[in-house]
């Protein structure tokens, strides 16, 4: 449904952040994207969101080229990005401009309740903790009910307990009406617990290193032997990419030294 | 994703809503303390003849002069004349600055075309325009109001021309994700984001407006506080000069106060290190 075909992204400063990425995301799929810091995960997500155009190759949604952001595609950024002058409630309603006011408020209220922020509806973003702000940002994306939700490390600022609760919540949403999730994460456990498929990236330039189809049955136990075996395998591959990344960084230094 | 299956309870859900941080109140009484003490000391010194009364009359003498002027109705006329000039000049200056500032801030092409010239004009000391304005517009109201408008223009223009491109790109991107039209983007993101700088620009513009009205009235007027200043000097009445200065201070503060209040209210969302409405 959402695809990248041999997409590359070169920034105006000449840096090649992504190279030759082909990726298909099916309807109702949960795709986890993991990789070391700086390997291009956020850039990949921005291509999928239509916020950046690939400098080579193509991005498409539903078979048609992706020319810009679309109503069907929601984004949770790596930072909360709340409007500091709007109340939490108004921030959650930010993407519901097209709805009549009554429905907008109802939906914002309902979504806030889901992320446990009802009591802070009238607060300003500066009165929220980092994790609460991130929950408000997740609520803003959920309130618009996108078909595809792109999440850029949405839970990394949260404590373990809230993180688990929100992961459960994503799964609940998913089991209910099968939206599509693309979840960038640093957390292998998170990727294994949620994703149907894990895309492991390596950086400089960012490429798909390997894809894993996670065949663990749901609901998944994070302590089952099969889960742990999966974790070991993904971690092993991650080390391979990390080693590759180190040599990629070290090579020019070595050349300079010689 | 219509109606979630169930509700996840999270920590914080039962917490009471935080009380918004109280705004620092305008501490007017405390601010008045210093001028009052100074006036009392001055009065005391004058009464002992420590000060030359022909150069530095006592506060009571100044108050007396003000009362005489007020009773004759003259004072009211001067106040109204000056205030109207500032109001008109400020209004024109702010209108032009808002238009051009928003244009240059939001449209890169307009910025490249116009901003260098405007910045160039800014480096002309504004009083250097006086002779030209008098030649062009005569010695009467028009040249005065234009001079005040020029004074008010630049801080407001700069606030917008520099403030709008400075709006956090990441917030603009959120509006893009939700496919805001340009108009909605301006209204819902750019304007609120730039409001703090704009209000600061307005306040500096108003202060410059008051500064320039003096220059405008010094260059020839038959009414206004600036005229009163010149009149006091030429007739050798320091009480009138000092009374006009005090009135300028009072008017300046009185017109700044509503702007400062508006700024404090509009900027409640800012997470500054101590906000002062000064
Ligand atoms: N606008 C830009 N201009 C130039 N280079 C950029 C730009 N944005 C990102 N980069 C570079 O592209 C690379 C990938 O960045 P990206 O933000 O996608 O990484 P990431 O995988 O999301 O990292 P992290 O896990 O730390 O968030 C980085 O090396 C970064 O320096
Ligand atoms: Mg990132």
Best of B5, B7, B12 to disrupt the A interface by mutation (most A CBs within 10 Å)? Answer: B12
Kindly determine whether residue B20 and residue A124, on different chains, have CB atoms separated by under 8 Å.
Answer: yes
Give the per-residue pLDDT at A244: 67
Do B277 and B264 touch, CB atoms closer than 8 A?
yes
Interface contact A84, partner B, CB < 8 A: yes
**pLDDT single digits (tens) A102-137:** 999 999 999 898 888 899 989 999 988 888 898 899
* Position B190 in a domain: yes
Q: Is the pLDDT of residue B5 over 90?
A: no
Q: Which CATH number does the domain A2-72+146-250 belong to among 3.40.80.10, 3.40.228.10, 3.40.50.300, 3.40.50.150?
A: 3.40.50.300
Tokens of A5: 């075909």
Kindly determine whether residue B189 and residue A83, on different chains, have CB atoms separated by under 8 Å.
Answer: yes
- Ligand 1 pocket (Cβ < 6 Å) reads A 11, 13, 15, 17, 35, 37-43, 78
- The predicted model gives A54-58 an average pLDDT of 90
* Position B73 in a domain: yes
Find the domain containing B222 and state its range.
Answer: 62-266
Q: Which residues 219-278 of chain B have a CB within 8 Å of chain A?
A: 268-271
**pLDDT single digits (tens) A187-230:** 889 999 999 999 999 888 888 888 888 888 888 888 888 889 88
Q: Ligand 1 centre and the CA of A36: distance in Å?
A: 11
Q: How many CA atoms lie within 13 Å of B128's alpha carbon, on the beta-carbon side?
A: 5
Q: Ligand 2 centre and the CA of B66: distance in Å?
A: 68
Interface contact A232, partner B, CB < 8 A: no
Do B112 and B185 touch, CB atoms closer than 8 A?
no
**pLDDT single digits (tens) B182-206:** 888 888 998 899 988 899 999 999 9
B24: three-class secondary structure by DSSP:
coil
Kindly determine whether residue B20 and residue A132, on different chains, have CB atoms separated by under 8 Å.
Answer: no
- The predicted model gives B221-246 an average pLDDT of 86
Tokens of B187: 């209204």
Instruction: Give the pTM.
Output: 0.76
Name residue A18's beta-bridge partners. Answer: A9, A206
| pLDDT tier, B226 (very low <50, low <70, confident <90, very high otherwise) | confident
| B3, B12, B171 ranked by CB distance to A132: nearest | B12
Tokens of A20: 């030759």
Give the number of the ligand closest to the Cα of residue A33. 1
The CATH 3.40.50.300 domain(s) of chain A lie at: 2-72+146-250
Instruction: Tell me the chain B residues in contact with residue A162 when contact means C-beta distances shorter than 8 Å.
Output: 10-11
| B3, B5, B179 ranked by CB distance to A71: nearest | B179
Instruction: Tell me the chain A residues in contact with residue B17 when contact means C-beta distances shorter than 8 Å.
Output: 119-120, 122-123
* Position B130 in a domain: yes
The label of the residue with tokens 């307990």 reads A161
A76: three-class secondary structure by DSSP:
strand
CATH of the domain at B120: 1.10.3720.10
| Burial (CB count <10 Å: 0-12, 13-18, 19+), residue A181 | buried
* Position B71 in a domain: yes
Do B259 and B203 touch, CB atoms closer than 8 A?
yes
Kindly determine whether residue A165 and residue B8, on different chains, have CB atoms separated by under 8 Å.
Answer: yes
Report which secondary-structure segment, H or E, holds A2: strand A2-10
Report which secondary-structure segment, H or E, holds A17: strand A16-25
Tokens of B124: 């002309």
Do A205 and A241 touch, CB atoms closer than 8 A?
no
For residue A143, give the nearest of A105, A177, A175 by alpha carbon. Answer: A105
* Position B55 in a domain: no
Domain count, chain B: 1
CA distance B55 to B48: 15
- The predicted model gives A24-47 an average pLDDT of 91
CA distance B227 to B79: 11
Question: ipTM surpassing 0.90, yes or no?
Answer: no
A60: three-class secondary structure by DSSP:
strand
* Position B18 in a domain: no
Rounded to the nearest angstrom, the minimum Cα separation between A105 and chain B is 14
Q: Which atom of ligand 1 is nearest to the CA of A35?
A: 21
Work out the angle at residue A175's Cα, subtended by the Cα atoms of residues A174 and A181, and round it to the nearest 5 degrees: 20
CA distance A73 to B71: 72
| B13, B180, B268 ranked by CB distance to A118: nearest | B13
The string of DSSP letters for A172-231 reads: HHHHHH--EEEEE-S-HHHHHHH-SEEEEEETTTBEEEEEEE--PPSSPPTTSHHHHHHH
| Burial (CB count <10 Å: 0-12, 13-18, 19+), residue B68 | middle
| A74, A114, A132 ranked by CB distance to B4: nearest | A114
Give the number of the ligand closest to the Cα of residue A39. 1
Give the per-residue pLDDT at A246: 60
Instruction: Tell me the chain B residues in contact with residue A169 when contact means C-beta distances shorter than 8 Å.
Output: 4, 8
């Amino acid at each position: 449904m959402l695809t990248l075909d041999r997409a590359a992204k070169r920034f105006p400063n000449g840096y090649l952040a992504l190279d030759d990425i082909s990726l298909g995301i099916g309807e109702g799929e949960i795709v986890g994207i993991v990789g070391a810091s700086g390997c291009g995960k956020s850039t990949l997500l921005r291509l999928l969101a239509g916020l950046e155009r690939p400098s080579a190759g193509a991005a498409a949604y539903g078979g048609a080229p992706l020319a810009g952001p679309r109503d069907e595609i929601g984004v949770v950024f790596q930072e909360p990005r709340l409007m500091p002058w709007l109340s939490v409630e108004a921030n959650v309603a930010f993407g519901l401009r097209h709805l009549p006011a009554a429905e907008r408020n109802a939906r914002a209220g309902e979504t806030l309740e889901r992320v446990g922020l009802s009591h802070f509806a009238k607060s300003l973003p500066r009165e929220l903790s980092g994790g609460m702000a991130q929950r408000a940002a997740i609520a803003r994306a959920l309130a618009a009910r996108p078909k595809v939700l792109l999440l850029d490390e949405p839970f990394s600022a949260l404590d373990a307990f809230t993180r688990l609760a929100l992961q459960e919540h994503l799964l609940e949403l998913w089991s209910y009406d099968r939206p599509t999730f693309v979840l960038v994460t640093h957390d292998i456990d998170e990727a294994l617990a949620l994703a149907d498929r894990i895309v492991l990236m390596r950086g400089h330039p960012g490429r798909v290193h390997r894809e894993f189809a996670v065949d663990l049955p749901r609901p998944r136990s994070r302590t089952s032997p099969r889960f742990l075996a999966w974790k070991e395998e993904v971690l092993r591959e991650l080390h391979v990419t990390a080693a590759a990344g180190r040599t990629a960084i070290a090579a020019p230094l070595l050349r300079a030294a010689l | 994703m219509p109606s979630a299956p169930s509700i996840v309870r999270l920590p914080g859900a039962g917490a009471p809503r935080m009380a918004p941080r109280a705004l620092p109140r305008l501490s007017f009484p405390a601010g008045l303390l210093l001028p009052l003490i100074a006036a009392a000391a001055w009065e005391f010194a004058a009464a002992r003849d420590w000060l030359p009364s022909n150069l530095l009359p006592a506060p009571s003498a100044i108050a007396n002069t003000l009362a005489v002027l007020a009773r004759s109705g003259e004072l009211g006329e001067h106040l109204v004349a000056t205030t109207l000039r500032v109001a008109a000049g400020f209004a024109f200056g702010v209108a032009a600055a808002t238009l051009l500032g928003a244009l240059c801030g939001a449209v890169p092409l307009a910025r490249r075309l116009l901003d260098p010239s405007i910045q160039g004009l800014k480096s002309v000391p504004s009083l250097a325009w006086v002779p030209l304005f008098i030649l062009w517009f005569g010695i009467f109201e028009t040249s005065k109001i234009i001079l005040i408008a020029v004074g008010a223009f630049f801080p407001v223009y700069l606030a917008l021309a520099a403030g709008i491109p400075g709006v956090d790109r990441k917030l603009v991107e959120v509006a893009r994700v939700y496919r805001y039209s340009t108009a909605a983007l301006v209204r819902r993101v750019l304007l609120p984001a730039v409001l703090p700088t704009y209000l600061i620009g307005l306040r500096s513009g108003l202060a410059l407006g008051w500064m320039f009205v003096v220059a405008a009235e010094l260059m020839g007027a038959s009414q206004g506080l600036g005229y009163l200043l010149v009149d006091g000097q030429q007739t050798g009445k320091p009480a009138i000069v000092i009374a006009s200065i005090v009135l300028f201070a009072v008017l300046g503060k009185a017109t700044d106060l509503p702007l400062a209040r508006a700024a404090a209210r509009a900027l409640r969302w800012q997470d500054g290190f101590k906000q002062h409405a000064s």
